[in-house]
Structure 1
Amino acid sequence: MTATTLHTRAQAFENGALIAADPGIAAEAEFPAPVAMTDAVYRDCIALHPEAYAYGIRLDESEREWNVLSAAALAIKGAAGSGRPPRLAFALYRVPGDGDTRDPQRVTLVAEVSPGDNGERVITIMRPSEHLPQ
């Protein structure tokens, strides 16, 4: 099987490589531009296995998304005045949503500011090893 090359942000949304953040949560976190996250970030930090609640996870997926977006927004605001690098690392603790793990684990993510398909400013949250579609 060969990997599909994505050329636009719209294609990344269509095939599920990118997931749009909830606009209400992004607005509440005061994001300065539309925000999305990679599928890997969504699966690791937001999505919950059905067994997760039985293992003591008390936050639902919306609350977990709030945690990720608010941590990213705080990092972006904290970088104000430093020229805001286009790729900014931030960390948070989350309980993996796998249904097996109960203890919070630290995860490092990056928020990357880039032009969208039409040149508009957009933000993508991803793992440090991931890169935007070219």
Structure 2
Amino acid sequence: MSERSARNKYVKIRTTSDERDVWQALADEEGVSLADLIRKRLNDSALKSPKSKSVQRVVLEADPKVIRELSRIGSNMNQIARAVNAAGLQPEDVITVLGFLSDVAADLTVIREEVLTQAQAHDLSSQGVDFVSR
């Protein structure tokens, strides 16, 4: 069976007139049909795997005590949020709670920066790993 007779499936796409004209001009320049041009371009190995920056996930071991403490902080913050929502606080009380939560958020930011600093100390940049701060 020849290569052309084995092709019995269709791929339909919508293009603008300008796109189709450009593609047809390219096909004419190469002396092939539009279908052959598209097939050739899509089957080209350079197009099969475009160069993109891959993301590598790195898991660093953490001190279990730190993990437990962070978990407690998160639980406490959830309890505070539930209590604030349920209590129907006066505006001045809400301001007090927001001040407290702001302090907790600042403390968590400090902890996060310390963890990033320690992670960078492992110097995984040679393996393509970047540590960034949000």
Sort the TM-score into its range (normalised by shorter chain): under 0.3
Q: Which structure ranks higher in relative contact order (CA pairs < 8 Å, sequence separation ≥ 6)? A: 1
TM-score norm. by structure 1 comes to 0.22
TM-score norm. by structure 2 comes to 0.22
More strand as a share of residues: 1
More helix as a share of residues: 2
